Amino acid sequence: MNTPAFPAAFSLRHETALITGGGTGIGLAIATAMHAAGARVVLVGRRESELAAAAQAIGAGASFRVHDVTDLDAAPALIARVTAELGPVTILVNNAGIHLKKPAVETTTAEFERVLRTHVLGAHALTAAAAPGMIERKSGSILFTASMASLFGLPLVIAYTAAKAALAGMVRGYAVEFSTHGVRVNAVAPGWIGTEISRQALEGDPKRRDRILARTPMGRLGVPADIGWAAVYLASPAARFVTGVTLPVDGGVSIGF
């Protein structure tokens, strides 16, 4: 059996990874980890100054493209542009998303549609644009950022829950179609991660923080790098027989009580 040496098993050298929502938070953590593993990384988002600062912080081998994932018709042009400038996109990370916290009965159809368009339709448009090249090359990895909302119900986030649950199903569906062509499809489902936004929210709501920690068996929040390195694993040769999986990275939340 041809088994790669330990460092090579987790290497992303010679890979080009496109990460949506890559300028901040978990997307930036994924981009940073993939870059450290040897990949060229392309950060995608709507805010140019934010993307430029993130790419500069990552260093040589990191670049950015301004793109709105909700502009579904623009997805093929983005993939074509990156391919022309940097070579084929061999790793696609569908991470971009928005949040909406609101009682279910007060969530309007327009609000629901906006969340689904960002998380679900935007991810599908880019997947549909990137996958044919991967299928032709018989190689590629597509990753999604799922959520605890993909696994169980959360209050006051019905549109977000619907979107993240859909992503878990899409991972299975794409995997069944693409894996026979050498293209693997997986997702990471973050638990409660200590990003700047979540820290600010929890600092102002100590009771909520206590509830979160009480139901987390490891008794602490994760850090963005925890998600980044899980994504590296799923995209690397070490996971070459892993497809259709939604991997919780949650300190045990999804199996604890």
What pLDDT, in 10s, does the model give residues 214-227? Answer: 989 999 999 999 99
Tokens of 1: 């059996």
Active site residue 233: no
Q: Which of 2.40.420.20, 3.40.50.720, 3.30.750.210, 3.40.50.2300 would CATH assign to domain 6-193+223-246?
A: 3.40.50.720
| Nearest in space to 164 (alpha carbons), one of 173, 174, 153, 155 | 153
Query: Which residue in 64, 112, 160, 178 is the catalytic one?
Result: 160
At 201, the pLDDT band (50, 70, 90 cuts) reads low
- Phi/psi of residue 20, nearest 5 degrees: -80, 150
For residue 5, what pLDDT is reported?
78
- Burial class from Cβ neighbours inside 10 Å (0-12, 13-18, 19+) for residue 50 reads middle
**Tokens 């892993």 belong to which residue?**
242
**Tokens 């969530």 belong to which residue?**
107
Taking only the tens place, the pLDDT of each residue in 28-44 is: 999 999 999 999 999 99
**Strand order across the beta sheet in which 183-190 lies:** 62-66, 40-45, 16-20, 91-94, 140-145, 183-190, 246-249
The domain locations on the chain are 6-193+223-246
pLDDT at residue 10 above 60?
yes
CA–CA gap between residue 207 and residue 184 (Å, rounded) = 41
Reported pTM: 0.95
